[in-house]
Structure 1
C-alpha cells in the first residue's frame, strides 16, 4: 500500500507538470477542446497507476483517442461506424503527404491524432523518469524554460504558472531524492522517517516561494520583445487583426494602433505610370480613441468597365487624364488605386464591389468570390488645385454640406482630452479658412519636437488616448501617429476629415520596354502608408501629408489669376519619400547621435533573425550534430586533454586528482568498477585486462597519498609515466 501511495503522489505531480505544457496551447494556438487532451493525460496516468495489463491500457487509450476524433471532426455518432472508413481513408492520404513531404497538406484530423500520440509518449517518458530512474530534474528544467520563454516572447502570462511549476518541481524532486536514499541504504520507510523528511521539504518550498514573491524585482533592461515577434503574424495579412505592431504592410484592422514594427521588403506591386502616385486602398471615418473603424457598411456592386463610384473631384477643379498599369505580386483581392480614379480595365471581365463608407473596392470572379488579378490598368484624373479656391471655405455651409456628413466626418470620442482641441485652436489661431488651418496643422508636425521612428513607439494603455499620448507625451511615431493626430486635431475644430490607408509611390525600377518608355516603380510593404484627406465643399476630398519626412504629389497653385502670389507660401510637388528611405535616413541620423537604445539593438537582432533564420537553423543543426558526435567519441579525445593538462603539473599532490581522472576514463572505456569492489581488486582487474602491473603500482602510490597525505618528493614525476601509459591504452 505504501508503494501505491508513493506512486500516486509521483503520478500526481507528474500530471501537474505535464499539464503546464498544455495550459498555453489553447491561448496561443487555434487548438480547441483542450480539456479532452488533459483528460487523456489523466487517463494515461490512471491506467498505469492501477497496473492494468498493457493490452487493456492500450485499448482504453485508443478508444479515447477515437472517441475524441469523432467528437472533434465528425458529425456521425461514435457508434455509427461509417465515420471510421472516412477516418482510415484520411489517414492513408495523410501518410502519403508525409512521404511526399507535403507538411502543409496534413489535415486537422491527422494533426489531432499526432498530438494524442505525442501526449502518449510524454506520459510514458514521465512515468519512466519518475518510477524507473527516480529523476525528473531535466523534465522540470525544460518545463521552466518552456513557460518562461512563452512568457517572454508571447502574450502568455506565466506569472502564476512559474510559481506552480516551482512548487510541483521542488516537491517531486524532494520525494524522488528521499526514495533514492531509502533504496540505496536499504532502509524501510515508515511514517516517522517520512515525516522527518517531508516536513523540512515542505517548509523549504513554502519559504522559497514566499521569499521569491515578496522580494523586490528589478525592472527589465531590454524592451518587451513581444511587439517585435508579433511581426511573425505579419500585419501585411488582410485577414489578421491589426494591432498596430508587427511588420510594416497593409492590414485591414486598425482598431488598435500603436507599437513598433520592422521593415519588410516584400514586393506588393509594380506601377507603370508617368509619375509617382499615392495609392489608396481604403478610408476610415470613426475614431475610437485607440484607432479607426468604419462607421457602417453599404455595398455597391457594378461592372468592371463602369465608372468607379468613389467620391468625385469637384467639377471646378482643373484636372488632366492619366493612366497607370499595375502588376501585382501579392494575392490581394482589393483594388489599389490612385485618387481621382475613373475606370479600371482587367484582362478578363470581373465585377467590382465597393464599400461606400471605406471606398474599399473588392474584385469579384465569375462565382462572385473575391479574386486577385495579376495586373490591371487604372484610368484616373490628376487634380490641380488653386489655393484661392481652397481658401473660400471658412465656416460650415449647411446648404453645401449635409448635416449627417458633417457629423460623420467630425466625429470624436466623448472622452477625448480637452487639451487636444485647445492645441488645435492654438495652432490655427489667426487663420480664417479651412485650408490655411489644415496647412497650419500639417506644418505643426514638421517641428523638431516630433520624431519619426518605427521602433521606439508606444502602445497606448487602457486609459490612454492614442492621439493625446502622441501629441503631449511621446511625440515619437510613424505615419499612423501623424495622420491620425492631424485628423483628430482638425475634427476638434469642426473641419471634416477622414483617414486614408494605402502606399506611397515606391522606388524607381526601370523604364518600360515599349515605345512610351514610362518609368516603372516598385512598391513594397515598406511603402505602406497612411495620410489625411480634408473635405472642401467646392473642391472635394483633398489629401494632406502630415508625416514628417513625407511629401505627397498634390499640386496646389498658389498664384492669383493675375499671376501674383496668393500667399507667401509657394510649394511645388515633391517626390514622396518612402518608408524605406526614411528608415535609412533615420538610421544615419542615429549613427551621429551618441544616444544608446536597447530598442535599436533588439530590432537589429530580430531583423537579422527574420532574414537569415534558415541559415541560423541549419547552423544550429550542424553544430548540434557536431556536438553530439564529439560527445559520443569523447573517450577518444578527452584523454589527450588530460595528458596535456597533467604533463604541465609538477606537484606530487596531483596524483590524487589524476587517479580520479583515470578512473573516469577507464569507466568510459568500458572497464567499470563495481560498487563493492576495492581499489586493489579493481587495479588487479585492470592489470589483468591490459596484461601489466601499472595500475597496481599506481594504486599503491594513490593509497599512500590518500591515507598519509604525503609522498616522497618527486613521486608524481615517477607515477606520471604509469598514469600516462594507462591513459594511452584507453585511447588505442
Structure 2
C-alpha cells in the first residue's frame, strides 16, 4: 500500500495542487452544464457538446508538467478551436475558391460561429475559476454564490437542482482541503513531507467520515418539507393548482396543472388548432434534416375555417378530392387555381427524419410537384438508397390544399425527395390584379369570417390600407404593419385579453404574441378586405452550417437563401398565410416579426430598368444586413485591439521585467530606492496584520519581528535581511542600491507566501 502511494505521488509530480484543483474545477463547472441541459431551449445540443469537450481539453493542459502559463493558455486556445472544428464538422475552404482574403476568412470563421463564442466563454470561466480558488476566501465565495444560484433557480422552477448543490459543496470542501495542504507545504515543509510520506493516519478517518455520512443519508427516510418552496407559493398565490411528480428521467419535477394551463405547452407541429393562443416553451429536439438547393419554408397543412378561437377544416376541405400518388410520384396542381401568369423556380429537397413521430402530412417547399420515397439507411451522411416507388400508395395528394397526406399510423417515411416549383413574384403583374373581377362565389370559403367578429377589426384593415389601390399593395401593407407594430414573444401576457375573439384580443388588447397570432390576424384582416386568404402551418427554414459558406464561395456573401443542409427542430414549427391572386395562384406571406420568408422576383428581360422596383421590397433586409455587417466588423476590431494590447503588455512584462501598468497603482511613488524599501515594508505590515501577524503600537518593527519569529520560526531567514535593509534605508546615511530593493522585494514575496 505504501509503495502504491509512492507511485501516485510520483505521478502527481511537483504540481499536484494545480492538477487536483483543475479536476475539482472541471467537476464544479460540469454542474452548470448539467443545469443548462435541463433548461429547455437555453443551448443547442451542439453547443453543449462543444462546451463539455472544451472543459475537458482545458483541464488536460494542467497535467502537462513544467508548462509556462502563457504557453499553456495558447495551447488551450488551440485545443478549443480543434474541439469546435471536430464537433461542428468543420470543412476548410481553400483560398483558391474565393475572391479575396477577407472572403476566405469569413468563409472559414463563419462555420464556427456562434458556437465558438460559447467555447471561448467556457475557457475564460475555467481560467477565472482557477484564479479564484487560489485562496480559501476565493473558494468560499465561489461556492456560496453557486449554492445560492442553484437554490433560487430550483425554488422558482420545476427543475431538480439539489444534486448540483450537493456536488458543489463536495467540490468546495475538497478545494479547501487541497488549499490547506498547499499552505501547510509552504509554511511547514518538514511536517508536510512526513504527512505526505505516511498519509494513513489522516486519510483513513476522512474516508470513514465520508462513508458514514453517505450511508446515513441513504438509509434515512425522506420526509415532506415543512415550508412551501417559493415557486409553489407563487403559483398558489396566483390561484393555480400545483402538484409535482418526478420526471421520467429523474432530471426534474413535472408540474401537474389544470388542463387549460398555457405555461407548459411546448413548440412543435400542432395537431389541433381549434383553440389558439396562450404561451409555450421552446423544444429544441430535432425533427428532420433537409438537403436543399435553396432556403425555403416547409409547408404542412392548411386551414380555411376561422371560428373566432382557432382553425378547423371547412366543409370544402372535408369534401376536397384526394388521389393516391402514382409510381411516377407526380403531384397534379389544382385545376381550379389559375397560374397562367406565374413564373417558378425549381427546387429539389431531400428530407431525412430524425425522430420517430408520425405526422399527417409530408413536409416540403410550396408548391410540391413530385415526390420520390427513398430507402432510409439509418446512417447520417450516407447517400440514400434506390427509390421505392411501390411505397407511394401510402400517400394521398390533395391538390386543393396542396397537401401530401400520410394516412397510416406507423411506418412514416424516413427519407424522401421532393421537387417543388416555388413562385417568383412578378411585382408589376401582381399590382395589376383586379379583385373586383374575381368570382367571389367560387372563393367564398376563403373569405369566411365569424359572425361575431368585432367591427373594429375590419376598420383597422381599412385604415392600414387606405393609401393603397391595388390588392397586392393592400396585402403588403397588412404584412408590414403586423410585423412592425407588434413585438414577438412566446409568452404573451394573456391576462390582458378580454375579447372573445382571438384576433381581436391580439390586435387591440394583448398586442404581442407569436406566429399563430400574426398569421391568423393577417388572414382575418385580408379577408375583411374581400381578398381570399388561408392559414398555413409547417416549419420555418431552420438552421444551417453550410448555407453561409456556400454563399461566400459563390461570391454571394449576403445571400440569405443559400442552399445546403438545414436542421429543422420543434422550435422551428411555424404558421404563416397565403393569398390568392388570379393568374398567379396562392402566394405565401410572412407577417410574423423577426421571420423572413424566402422570396424570389421575376422581371422581364427587356424591362431591366424596372428591376430596382423589386428591390424596394427587400431594402429593409439589405439595410439590416449592412447594419449587421458594420456592427460585426466593429466588434471584431475592438476584440482584436484588446487582444493586441494584452499581448504587447504581456511581452513587455516577460522580456523586460517592467510592469508598465504600475503607474496606475494606488499610493505615492517613491523618489529613490530607500523610499521604495520603506513603502514595501509598510505594505508588508498591512498584509501581515490581515494574516494574524500584528505589530502593536508600542513595538518597533524589529521587536514585532522577534515575536513573529517565536510564533513561526520559518519566517526568520527572510525577515532578517528585510529588517536590516529597512533600517539601513530609513535611519542610515548609507546609500541604498537597486540590488537592495530587489532583495527586499524577493524576501517580502516569500514572506507573503509563508504567511498565508
Q: TM-score range by the shorter chain?
A: 0.3 to 0.5
Bigger Rg, which one: 1
Task: Output the TM-score relative to the length of structure 2.
Answer: 0.41
Higher RCO, Cα 8 Å, sep 6+: 2
